[in-house]
Amino acid sequence: MQIREAAQDDFERIWPFFNPIASAGDTCAYPRDISKQEAKRLWMHLPDKTFVAEERGEIIGAYYIKANHDGPGKHVCNCGYMVSEKARGAGLGTLMCKHSQKIALKLGYKAIQFNFVAETNRLAVHLWSKLGFEIVGRLPKAFNHPEKGYVDALVMYKWLGD
């Protein structure tokens, strides 16, 4: 398995797992019916960089990195991660998150912030906590879960050092 910077046309091989994750509506802040074109804009054009995890020629995960705010907030980045269904439970989220922390420092960022982690997404909360992210905010009923209705969203944050 290798994690490498994505080429624009890699999105063709990200979309097959991006689409069901967005459609489920229980983890990320995208419309459930997001178009491939808009998803590509958000993941391939808007971010500083996008990386893919590739195993035997197959893309099994991806993440992006971008500034979370501009101006006085430009030293804090935001990342989003997606793992294909078949690759889940094998530690790829951990690997990509560790990779992204190194890339963040290389790009000059000093911290990573996750803005919108559904409190019901226990796997993610557990994973990010294990990797040193702290829950620094709780947004009451900010996440409209498809089955559970309005649940809290968490803000998670890790200072990467000076």
* Residues of the shown chain interacting with a copy of itself in the complex, contacts defined by CB under 8 A: 22, 25-26, 28-32, 34, 69-76, 110-111, 113, 115-116, 118, 136-146, 150, 153, 155, 157, 159
User: At closest approach, how far in Å is the CB of 136 from a copy of itself?
Assistant: 5
Distance of alpha carbon 125 from alpha carbon 135, whole angstroms: 9
What sign does the dihedral 21-22-24-25 (CA atoms) show? Answer: positive
* C-beta separation of 159 from 110 below 8 A: yes
Centroid of chain to Cα 30:
12
User: At closest approach, how far in Å is the CB of 21 from a copy of itself?
Assistant: 11
Residue 73 vs 91, nearer CB to a copy of itself? 73
User: At closest approach, how far in Å is the CB of 39 from a copy of itself?
Assistant: 11
Other beta carbons within 10 Å of 94: 13
User: At closest approach, how far in Å is the CB of 68 from a copy of itself?
Assistant: 8
Residue 59 vs 124, nearer CB to a copy of itself? 124
User: At closest approach, how far in Å is the CB of 1 from a copy of itself?
Assistant: 30
Distance of alpha carbon 43 from alpha carbon 15, whole angstroms: 10
Per DSSP (E only), the strands in 68-133 are 76-83, 111-118
Residue 51 vs 157, nearer CB to a copy of itself? 157
Residue 25 vs 61, nearer CB to a copy of itself? 25
Distance of alpha carbon 53 from alpha carbon 153, whole angstroms: 27
Residue 9 vs 162, nearer CB to a copy of itself? 162
